[in-house]
C-alpha cells in the first residue's frame, strides 16, 4: 500500500488513534510508541550528559503535521512547540499544496563556513594573497582533523580570504569552506578552524583571535517553490490579498520580522522535534534576511499568468542527522524515523517546505478572516474536550461558543449538560 500523509480528520482522532496511524506510516515498534507516550521521555541520566547543571527535564507537546507532499514523497512531519494553531495551520496549508507533486525543494548542499580572524596585519591585501597561495597546505591541515568525513567525500574544500574594515582597523578574515555531509557541522568546522590558525599566523605574521563557525550559512541554502490553485483557496481575491501581504513585508522591516516569525513557527518546531541547534537556524535565517542591508522576508508570493498563487522561500538551513543531540535524544530519533529522512539534505528540504507552508497559512488567514477566529475555534475545542464532551458534541459546543463569542469553561459545561439532556 502506498503511504500517504493525506489523513482527513486526523485532528478529530484520539491520541491513541493518531498514534496508530503514525505507527502504520513509520513502522514504529512498541518500544518507540511507549517512549512517545511516556511522561518525561528523556532519562535524567541522558539529560545529565547533554548539558551541565541538570536538575530535571521539561516536556513539550509533540505533534505531527499531516498532508505534506514534498518532491513527490509523503511525509508526516513531527513538530514540537507550545503555540496552538501552528500544527493545524501547517497541515491545512499542506493540503492545498499537494497538486503538481506538492512542494518542490532543492538545496545547495551541506556547506558550512568556518571563520578565522587575523588582526595586527599592516599589509592585509598582501597577506590575503599569501594565505591564498598556501591554500592546499591549509586545507590539508583542516582535513587531517576528520579523516572519516573526508573518506565520506566531505571535508574542507576551499578557502576564501576577505579584508574587512572594523572599528579597530582592517582585519583579514579567512573562510574555510567545509562540506559537512550529514552533520550540522559546527563541531567539525570549529576543530578545523582552530587547527589551521597557527599556520595562518605563521604566514601572515598577524595574530589570530576567533576561530569559529559562521551561522550565516549562506552556502547551505534551502530553496522551495509551490503553486496553489486559486479555486482551492477562495479565488483570485485571496491570491491578491496574499501577494499584498508579502509586498507589505518586502517594503517594511516591522512587518518582515513578523512574516519571518511565521516561517520560523514551522521551521523551529521541526528543529525541536529532531533536536537541532535551533538557535543556529534562527540566527542564520535573520542574518540572511538582512543580507541586502535591510531586513527582508525570506519568502516571496506572486500571482502567475493564470491567476494562481506561486510562492518561493530561500533561507539557510544548517541541520544534521548525525552527532549531537539528534543521536543522544531518544525522541529525536523517533522523530527522524517518523519523517523517514535519509540525509541532512533531505531534512533541510522538509524544513524549508514546512516554513513555506506555515507562511502561506498565516498570510491566507491574515489576508482573509484574520488569525483570531481560527485560534478561537481551537481554544473552544480544547475547552469543550476539557469539560468532557465527546464526538459530535465537541463540534456542536464549539460552534455555539464561537457564534456567541463566549468561550469559557462554564459556558462549555452548561452547553454539555443542555445538549446531553436533549440527545437523551
277 is a catalytic site residue: yes
Residue 220 vs 259, nearer CB to ligand MEV: 259
CA distance 114 to 42: 32
Grid coordinates of 73: 514523497
Closest approach of Cβ 83 to ligand MEV, in Å?
6
Closest approach of Cβ 272 to ligand MEV, in Å?
15
- Chain residues that interact with ligand MEV, rule: CB under 6 A: 83, 258-259, 261-262, 265, 362-363, 366, 371
Among candidate residues 17, 48, 83, 237, the one labeled active-site is: 83
Closest approach of Cβ 300 to ligand MEV, in Å?
14
Contact between residue 153 and residue 181 where contact means Cβ atoms under 8 Å apart: yes
Closest approach of Cβ 263 to ligand MEV, in Å?
8
Which residues, in sequence order, are CB contacts of 290 under 8 Å at separation 6+? 296
Paired strand residues for 221: 316
Among candidate residues 375, 396, 406, 413, the one labeled active-site is: 375
DSSP state of 134: T
- Where b means 16+ CB within 10 Å and e means fewer, 361-397 reads bbbbbbbeeebeebbbbbbbbebbeebebeeebbebb
Residue 372 vs 420, nearer CB to ligand MEV: 372
48 is a catalytic site residue: no
Report the residue count for the chain: 424
Strand 73-80 relative to strand 111-119: parallel, antiparallel, unpaired? Answer: unpaired
Q: Within 13 Å and on the Cβ side, how many CA atoms surround 352? A: 33
Give the number of other Cβ atoms within 10 Å of residue 413's Cβ.
17
Residue 74 vs 314, nearer CB to ligand MEV: 314
> Measured at CB, which residue is nearest to ligand MEV?
262
Residue 262 vs 284, nearer CB to ligand MEV: 262
Residue 97 vs 139, nearer CB to ligand MEV: 97
Closest approach of Cβ 265 to ligand MEV, in Å?
5
Grid coordinates of 423: 440527545
CA distance 236 to 70: 25
Among candidate residues 261, 300, 396, 406, the one labeled active-site is: 261
Radius of gyration (C-alpha) of the chain in whole angstroms: 25
CA distance 58 to 81: 12
Closest approach of Cβ 81 to ligand MEV, in Å?
10
User: Is 370 in a helix, a strand, or coil?
Assistant: coil
Residues designated catalytic: 83, 261, 277, 375
Amino acid at each position: 500500500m502506498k503511504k500517504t500523509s493525506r489523513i482527513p480528520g486526523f485532528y478529530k482522532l484520539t491520541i491513541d488513534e493518531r498514534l496508530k496511524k503514525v505507527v502504520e506510516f513509520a513502522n514504529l515498534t512498541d518500544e518507540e510508541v511507549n517512549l512517545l507516550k511516556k511522561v518525561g521521555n528523556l532519562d535524567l541520566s541522558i539529560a545529565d550528559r547533554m548539558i551541565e547543571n541538570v536538575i530535571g527535564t521539561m516536556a513539550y507537546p509533540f505533534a505531527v503535521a499531516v498532508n505534506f507532499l514534498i518532491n513527490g514523497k509523503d511525509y508526516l512531519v513531527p513538530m514540537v512547540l507550545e503555540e496552538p494553531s501552528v500544527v493545524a495551520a501547517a497541515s491545512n496549508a499542506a493540503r492545498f499544496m499537494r497538486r503538481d507533486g506538492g512542494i518542490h525543494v532543492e538545496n545547495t548542499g551541506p556547506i558550512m563556513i568556518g571563520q578565522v580572524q587575523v588582526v595586527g596585519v599592516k599589509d592585509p591585501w598582501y597577506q590575503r594573497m599569501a594565505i591564498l597561495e598556501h591554500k592546499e597546505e591549509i586545507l590539508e591541515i583542516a582535513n587531517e582533523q576528520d579523516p572519516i568525513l573526508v573518506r565520506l567525500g566531505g571535508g574542507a574544500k576551499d578557502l576564501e580570504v576577505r579584508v574587512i574594515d572594523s572599528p579597530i582597523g582592517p582585519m583579514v578574515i579567512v573562510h574555510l569552506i567545509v562540506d559537512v555531509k550529514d552533520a550540522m557541522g559546527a563541531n567539525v568546522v570549529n576543530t578545523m578552524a582552530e587547527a589551521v590558525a597557527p599556520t595562518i599566523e605563521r604566514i601572515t605574521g598577524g595574530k589570530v583571535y576567533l576561530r569559529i563557525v559562521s551561522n550565516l550559512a549562506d552556502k547551505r541554502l534551502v530553496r522551495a517553490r509551490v503553486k496553489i490553485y486559486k479555486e482551492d483557496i477562495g479565488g483570485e481575491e485571496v491570491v491578491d490579498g496574499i501577494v499584498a501581504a508579502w509586498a507589505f513585508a518586502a517594503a517594511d522591516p516591522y512587518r518582515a520580522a513578523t512574516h519571518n516569525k511565521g516561517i520560523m513557527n514551522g521551521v523551529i518546531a521541526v528543529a525541536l522535534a529532531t533536536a537541532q541547534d535551533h538557535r543556529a537556524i534562527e540566527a542564520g535565517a535573520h542574518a540572511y534576511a538582512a543580507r541586502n542591508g535591510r531586513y527582508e522576508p525570506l519568502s516571496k508570493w506572486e500571482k502567475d499568468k493564470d491567476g494562481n498563487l506561486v510562492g518561493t522561500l530561500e533561507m539557510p538551513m544548517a541541520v544534521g542527522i548525525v552527532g549531537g543531540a539528534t543521536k543522544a535524544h531518544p525522541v529525536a530519533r523517533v522523530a527522524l524515523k517518523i519523517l523517514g529522512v535519509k540525509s541532512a539534505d533531505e531534512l533541510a528540504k522538509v524544513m524549508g517546505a514546512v516554513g513555506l507552508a506555515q507562511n502561506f497559512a498565516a498570510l491566507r488567514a491574515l489576508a482573509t478572516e484574520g488569525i483570531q477566529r481560527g485560534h478561537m475555534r481551537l481554544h473552544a475545542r480544547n475547552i469543550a474536550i476539557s469539560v468532557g464532551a465527546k464526538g459530535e458534541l465537541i463540534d456542536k459546543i464549539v460552534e455555539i461558543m464561537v457564534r456567541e463569542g463566549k468561550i469559557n469553561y462554564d459556558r462549555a459545561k452548561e452547553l454539555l449538560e443542555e445538549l446531553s439532556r436533549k440527545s437523551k
